[in-house]
Amino acid sequence: MRRIVLIMTLVMGMGTLCKAQTATSAPAATQGRFDKIDAWLTDNAKEMGGRAILLVYKDGKVVYVKSVNDMNRRQKMVNKYIAKRQGRSADLEDYTMQSRQPVASCSKWFSAALVMTFVDEGRLSLSDTVGKYLPVLSAQGKGGITVQQCLSHLTGIKEPPLKESIKEMRTISSMDQAIATIAEMPMEGQPGKVFHYSNAGLQIAGAILEKISGKSFETLFAERISRPLGMKNTDFGNGPVALPAGGASSTPEDYMRFLVMILDKGMYKGARILSEKSVAEMQVNRISSDITIAYSPAETLGLSAGYGYGEWTMGAAVTSPGLFGSFPWVDPGAGYCAFLMTFYLKNEGRGERYATLKKLVAEAISPQFQ
């Protein structure tokens, strides 16, 4: 009974997402179509940090919301340890629409969209070279890298392993220092010919936006993405330097607003956030057969993934999963989007897990079940 009440409460909490959205779960006649998803969440929660919440949006409304919480003692201890290191109180309660937490690389989608707003305005071209805005990169032989290569991890820069990179970024006190650090990194191949999933490209893109606008990355994101979409609980923090590739915190409700905008080809509640052309450009796979894969994370295994601008392509769908397990995706052809929020570090089997969930959701919302 408690779980049924929780599901109803979560769905009612999404009432402001869209005018057409109802405050109820799926109609009784079709509730059974989500049984396999219910079972999947229950079966996989233990492997995903003990907690998860899944939202599915289609035809102008959220058609499915469910939160599960089966945290064991060890998972609770890990949660408390991480919270203590971050200087906050541990949250061990069920996830809700308003549960806010770091979304790691899910941030990349936000940042690429922000860059594309400048492209839409003609203030930036995807073919612009980074040396045009950041001379320090030219001084180190990296000035010929293009903006589009920054958005698709094709810079050719050999960034340190993730743990080392994160540790180094914690010592950075300004965007200029961040770019100077990247400028000193070695190259592992010709720009446009080597794919290395990392933070460097989007950090460079973020710095370029600051140079063009004279505003901080955080302010630009608020003005152009989060505020127009009503994402009141999403930002890139207030640290000394923004981390466009992984520094955002968000909620299920907020992230779904962003996904709805992408699903609706750049529109949200009648307002144009991105041009339809930019949304389409972001979704084109840039990883051709002649490109060397230097590094690709475990999260993409099982997704048959390519990469566009700030997002992975998986067939007709697009996604940007994060280090902590959250998995947002949009399937334009099927006309739906979904967001799974979790928090765990063990990435073994993630790609296969994502692929299975995506298949179950696609089956549940397919016309034959309507």
**153-162 pLDDT per residue, tens:** 999 999 998 7
Q: pLDDT at position 86, please? A: 72
pLDDT of 297 over the 90 cut: no
**174-196 pLDDT per residue, tens:** 999 999 999 999 999 999 999 99
User: What is residue 265's three-state secondary structure?
Assistant: coil
Q: Residue 27: inside a domain, yes or no?
A: yes
Q: Assign 2 a pLDDT band (cuts: 50, 70, 90).
A: very low
The DSSP element (H or E) to which 45 belongs, if any, is: none
Q: Residue 282: inside a domain, yes or no?
A: no
Domain housing 261: 2-101+252-265+319-369
Q: Residue 152: inside a domain, yes or no?
A: no
Question: How many separate domains does the chain show?
Answer: 1
Average pLDDT rounded to a whole number, residues 207-217: 98
Average pLDDT rounded to a whole number, residues 119-128: 98
Write down how long the chain is: 370
Q: pLDDT at position 15, please? A: 46
Q: CA–CA distance from 279 to each of 151, 273, 294, 322 (Å)? A: 13, 10, 27, 20
Q: Residue 231: inside a domain, yes or no?
A: no
Average pLDDT rounded to a whole number, residues 360-365: 96
Q: Residue 220: inside a domain, yes or no?
A: no
**78-103 pLDDT per residue, tens:** 888 878 887 878 888 999 999 999 99
Identify which has the larger pLDDT, 43 or 367: 43
Percent of the chain with pLDDT over 90: 75
Pick the closest to residue 363 from 59, 53, 37, 62 (CA basis): 37
d(CA 184, CA 292): 22
Cβ burial of 156 (10 Å; 0-12, 13-18, 19+) is buried
Q: pLDDT at position 304, please? A: 64
CA atoms within 13 A on the CB side of 143: 10
